[in-house]
Amino acid sequence: MAHFGTTTTGEAVEKITLTAGDLTVAILTWGAVIQSVRLAKIPYDLTLGSETLTDYEGSLRYHGSIIAPVVNRLSNAQAPLCDKTLHFQLNFNGQHTLHSGDAGTHLKVWQIVHATETECLLALTLPHNEGGFPGTRRITALFQVTAPASLRLTITTQTDADTLLNATNHSYWNLDGSADFTGHSLQIAADHYLPASDEFIPTGEIRPAHDMFDFRKPRPVAPQSPDLDNCFCLSTTQHPLRDVLTLTGQSNLKMTVATTEPGIQIYDCRHDAYKGLAIEAQGWPDAPNKPGFPPITLAKGETLTQITEWRFTPGH
């Protein structure tokens, strides 16, 4: 563990390095960020990140972070819950809520519960009604590395009031160390995807995966081919951990993603020269406002556990 930096408000941020087999992963207490993922004999990082805390407080605020309580967009900055309508911060196009606004966990320093060579447990308490989200919520993030080259993240959330909860890790990946993700191929075990509006909000349609959005077999991806900021529908409920996605670089280095979650959002990093692909295992976005989408409600006294695992295999 090492000091990484100090926030603009004077809070210390630590960097925790985990190692097992061929994999070395660095985790920050700021935003529970996966700051670095290195594979033995590969001379570059596999995830986009920075060595500077001010970058994470600024333009890289979503890179590698855990985003909660609700990732992605909530249309018109509101959502129904039980017999109420909740209202949130307007931080996207002056009309919608993106990544929970300033109440998001990506903008907070998490506490270290424990840390060893191969795992660390971080925790955070979100106060009742912060950002419009009810309930005092306790969130923990357990990062574990295992040989030969696997990283598992378990996010666990408890609440003392009915609330909305849809957390994810928001890492960007480039398996070639290249300027952008040209040359990668992508495979997703999804028969359907969610088309989005010009404001990147799901239209409500659940569309069969076809043509440029059919990734059931490995397909090359490149900037604008296709434009990607969509959720791919893996299921309508959580499932036991299962493989759902494989990203392959030009060198044949592979990253296999397994998750319990019913959706996986792919974003092409168009805001930053397509440097990598964001791969976010999560519930379906804007679910409270879309009839027919799986709910993201977490009831008082209940616990939600979300697991995502990344396995890396070098090319040969």
Q: 199's torsion region: left (phi>0), alpha (psi -120 to 50) or beta? A: alpha
The conformation of residue 151, written as its DSSP 8-state character, comes to E
Residue with tokens 């043509």: 211
pTM, entire model: 0.98
Distance separating alpha carbons of residues 141 and 114, to the nearest angstrom: 11
Q: Which of 194, 172, 197, 169 is nearest to 92 (CA)?
A: 197
Burial of 100 (C-beta count, 10 Å sphere; 0-12/13-18/19+): buried
Burial of 279 (C-beta count, 10 Å sphere; 0-12/13-18/19+): buried
Cβ-Cβ contacts under 8 Å for 219 (sequence gap 6 or more)? 185, 186, 187
* Domains of the chain in sequence order: 2-313 (2.70.98.10)
Distance separating alpha carbons of residues 211 and 28, to the nearest angstrom: 39
pLDDT at 315: 83
Over residues 18-41, mean pLDDT: 98
The conformation of residue 288, written as its DSSP 8-state character, comes to G
Confidence of residue 15 (pLDDT cuts 50, 70, 90): very high
In whole numbers, what is the pLDDT of the chain averaged over residues?
Answer: 97
CB burial readout 29-58, b (16+ within 10 A) else e: bbbbbbbbbbbeebeebbbbbbeebeebbe
262-284 pLDDT, tens digit each: 999 999 999 999 999 999 999 99
Q: Of residues 315 and 237, which shows the higher confidence score? A: 237
124-164 pLDDT, tens digit each: 999 999 999 999 999 999 999 999 999 999 999 999 999 99
pLDDT at 120: 98
Confidence of residue 58 (pLDDT cuts 50, 70, 90): very high
70-114 pLDDT, tens digit each: 999 999 999 999 999 999 999 999 999 999 999 999 999 999 999
